[in-house]
Amino acid sequence: MKQIHLIAPSGASLDSQSPLAGIAWLKQQGIDILNTDCVSRVEQRFAGTDKQRLSEINQLADLSPEILVLVMRGGYGLHRLLPDIDWSAIAQNIQKGLQICGHSDFTAFELGMLAKTGAITLSGPMLNFDFGCQGEQGDSITPNAFMWKQFQTAVQDHKLDYTVSASQKYLTKSDTGACSGILWGGNLTVLTGLIGTPYLPSPAQTQGGILFLEDVNEHPYRIERMLMQLLDAGIISNQSAILLGGFSAYRLHDHDRGYSLESALECIRQRLPEEIVLLTDLPFGHQAEKLTLPVGAQAQVTYDRAGFSIQSQW
């Protein structure tokens, strides 16, 4: 990993220091950082005009395939650009070796790329939160060591091999087993927003797949409602496994009266076909400790009541 090319396809940076701190830390690791001007663009809530952000994405087709592309942050904005992205040209560069990494709102790009071309992208860290994280006093915080190690393994070795050691209480048909399939998913809200569009991979593409999901700032009832929609739309009812990552930064209320994320998942579990494995505590999402996951690659999962392992080579 010698060069990182930054892109800002969604929201503008919420502060001026995070992207600069992230750039500085990555440079300290001996990495050349390209296209740094994008971190200062602002147009309303977006990181530049639609035209600027679209042009930046389509220029990925012309980058050296040895470069890693890293997203600045999520937020919102990619949905505006999806119809005009040159999917095939970018996919051709990915086939030559170009790697593109991000998550959150970038889920729209990753799933669109998978739906349109089948090309593999990386769902993983982004510049601001993961490499330019700030403390309460504005001081820089060293990036999470687990995240950095997993990121390097994915980028350099094209490999995922991790074991989650956490009790799995949503298994039904069998206490132990294994499954394999295409690994896909990302942010639950963004994925749900793609239903009925050509940017969500088709049931034929994801049949028997391994779906991973995460979200932030969403109350459990909203999470339940979106999972119900995916279930009733036939999108998760044909999966081999569903891996749930972090669902963070929500607030329960007095009138929830004991309703919780666990309550929502128990309701979903009751409606899911029992042969579909529902696993929790995947280290992924809007959190410091996260894996880098290859969207569109084949993966294998083995599980029991004490946890699960996930492997992929792409």
pLDDT, block means (10 residues), the chain with 314 residues = 96 96 97 98 98 98 98 98 98 98 98 98 98 75 96 98 98 92 98 98 97 98 98 96 97 96 97 96 97 98 98 98
Q: Can you tell me the distance from the alpha carbon of 161 to that of 159, in angstroms, rounded to the nearest whole number?
A: 7
Domain boundary among 143, 173, 194: 143
**Do 32 and 112 belong together in one domain?**
yes
Catalytic residue among 10, 13, 18, 104: 104
Q: Which of 10, 18, 103, 214 is catalytic?
A: 214
Q: What is the pLDDT of residue 10?
A: 98
Q: Catalytic: 79?
A: no
Closest CA to 186 of 207, 163, 210: 210
3-class DSSP assignment, residue 282: coil
Active site residue 10: no
Closest CA to 235 of 266, 288, 197: 197
**DSSP 8-state symbol, 105:** G
Report the C-alpha gap between 229 and 141 in whole angstroms. Answer: 38
> 165 and 139, same structural domain?
no
Evaluate whether residue 151 is within a structural domain.
no
In a domain, 149, yes or no: no
Do 88 and 26 lie in one domain? The reply is yes
Among residues 195, 24, 224, the alpha carbon closest in space to that of 107 is found at: 195
pTM: 0.97
Give pLDDT, residue 25: 97
Task: State the total domains in the chain.
Answer: 2
Domain that holds residue 62: 3-143
User: Is 217 within the bounds of a domain?
Assistant: yes
Catalytic (active site) residue 104? yes
What amino acid occupies position 206? T
In a domain, residue 205? The reply is yes
Q: Is residue 150 part of a domain?
A: no
User: Which one of 18, 123, 286, 312 is the catalytic residue?
Assistant: 286
